[in-house]
Amino acid sequence: MVTDNSNRTAAVLYIVPVPIGNYGDITFRAVEVLKQVPLIICEEFREARRLLSRFDINTELAGLNEHNEKNEAGALAEKILESGSAALISDCGTPVFSDPGEELISVCLSKGIKVITLPGANSLITALSGSGLSLDTFYFAGWLSPKRELRRKELERLRKIKDIIVLMDTPYRLVQLLESVSEVFGKQKYVVLAYQLTFPDEEYLRGSIEQVHSSASSRKLKGEFVLIIDNK
C-alpha cells in the first residue's frame, strides 16, 4: 500500500550536497537554499561553520551524526514541521550516501515532510568518471570493517563479484586497506586510487595493487580517497 502524505504539510527537507574539497564546486542553487532555510542540519559543527562562513551564511545549525541520529531524528522532524523547511548537509559530498541522514529522511517522510534532493558533488561519481575503466556496471561496497580479520572476510566475499568494485575508508586506513586488498585479490590486480579529489594535490594512481600500495606506502599518503578494483 502506498501512503501519500503530500497534502498534510508544506514543510520541506532539502538534501544539499556540499564540496568534497574545492569550495568552488558548490552550486548556485545549494547556496541559495542554505541562505533561505531557517535551519541547517549538519554532521559536524566545525566543518559546517567553515563552509557556511565562506559564503556568508549564518543560519541556525543542528547536529546529526551516526551516534545521535536515532535519538534526534524525531525531534528534528518536528522542528522542520514548525519552521517550514530545513537543509541537510554532510561534512563533504552528498548527504546520506555513506553519511548520516537515512533515519531522518524516513521520519520526515512518515510525517508528510517533502524531501527534495539537490544534485551536486559526490566523490564516487567523480572517481569513477576519471578512472579510465569501463563503467557499464559497478558494485559499491562502501566502507569495510576496520578490524583486519573481518575486513579480510568481507574482501573474500567481494572477490567473487566479477565487476568494478568501489571501496572507501578513512584517510588513516588507506595503506592498511591496500595491504588487505593485495592479500585477498592478489598483487597484480589492477586498481585505481582516486586521491584527494578536487584538492590541489589531486591525483589518480593507476596500476597493479602492488604498485599502488608501494607508492602510497613510501609516500605515506594519508588523505581522502576512493579505491576502485577492476575485478571484471
Q: Do the Cβ atoms of 87 and 42 come closer than 8 Å?
A: no
119 DSSP assignment: P
CA distances from residue 22 to 47, 57, 198 in whole angstroms, order as listed? 13, 18, 5
In the chain, helix, strand, coil percent, each to 5? 40, 20, 40
The tens-digit pLDDT sequence of the chain (232 residues) is 334 444 455 899 999 999 999 999 999 999 999 999 999 999 999 999 999 999 999 999 999 988 888 899 999 999 999 999 999 999 999 999 888 899 999 999 999 999 999 999 999 999 999 999 998 999 999 999 999 999 999 999 999 999 999 999 999 999 999 999 999 999 999 999 999 999 999 999 999 999 999 999 999 999 999 999 999 9
> pLDDT tens digit string along 150-173?
999 999 999 999 999 999 999 999
- The alpha carbons of the chain give a radius of gyration, in whole angstroms, of 20
Q: Measured between alpha carbons, how far is 158 from 204 in angstroms, rounded to an integer?
A: 23
Q: Return the half-sphere exposure (C-beta side, CA atoms, 13 A cut-off) of residue 89.
A: 32
Residue 54 is inside which H or E element, if any? helix 45-54
Report phi then psi at 224, rounded to 5: -65, 140
Q: Do the Cβ atoms of 16 and 119 come closer than 8 Å?
A: no
Torsion (CA) 135, 140, 163, 133 in degrees, nearest 10: 30
Which domains are delineated in the chain?
12-117 (3.40.1010.10), 123-230 (3.30.950.10)
Q: Measured between alpha carbons, how far is 81 from 70 in angstroms, rounded to an integer?
A: 18
pTM of structure: 0.87
Report phi then psi at 104, rounded to 5: -60, -45
Give the burial class of 2: count Cβ atoms within 10 A of its Cβ; 0-12 exposed, 13-18 middle, 19 or more buried.
exposed
Q: Measured between alpha carbons, how far is 162 from 81 in angstroms, rounded to an integer?
A: 46
Report phi then psi at 67, rounded to 5: -85, -30
Q: Do the Cβ atoms of 76 and 62 come closer than 8 Å?
A: yes
